[in-house]
Amino acid sequence: MKPNTAMYQGARRLPYTHVATGLGMAACRQGRRVRFYGAASVVNELLMAQKELRLTRMLGQLRKLDVLILDELGFIPFTKDGAHLLFQMCSELYEKVSIIITTNVRFADWNSVFGESNTARYPTL
């Protein structure tokens, strides 16, 4: 399976979480390794892993996935450190793991999620 990234963006009333979950379930039925995270939850786990000096291990575990689903990106604001770690994770997984992202934040407004310093690098996600 060639890794791809899909982003479902739009108003909150649209069922993007349902679509992403359905895609994840279909991948599971094909024997793929899938992980579903709420974006805020994965940021909290990344921050904890960094604090406990196990970030490299966590990223290694995520690299073993076939599909990673990040739900509701930008729904809850991240700290600067959290946003940096999320961006680092996505960059690390790019072209290695298929990533599905759901969000109600317009792509043009992602600087509010990741911060201004990473804005120029967004196309790599």
Of 104 and 45, more confident:
45
Average pLDDT over residues 95-113: 84
Which CATH number describes the domain made up of 5-124? 3.40.50.300
3-state helix, strand, coil in the chain (%, to 5): 55, 20, 30
Asked whether 35 and 62 are in contact (CB, 8 A), the reply is: yes
Q: What percent of the chain has pLDDT over 70?
A: 82
In the structure, what pLDDT confidence band is assigned to residue 8 with cuts at 50, 70 and 90? low
Q: Residue 120: is its pLDDT beyond 60? A: no
Q: What percent of the chain has pLDDT over 90?
A: 56
Task: For residue range 59-78, list pLDDT tens digits in order.
Answer: 999 999 999 999 999 888 88
pLDDT reported for residue 112: 73
By C-alpha distance, which of 24, 31, 30 is closest to 8? 24
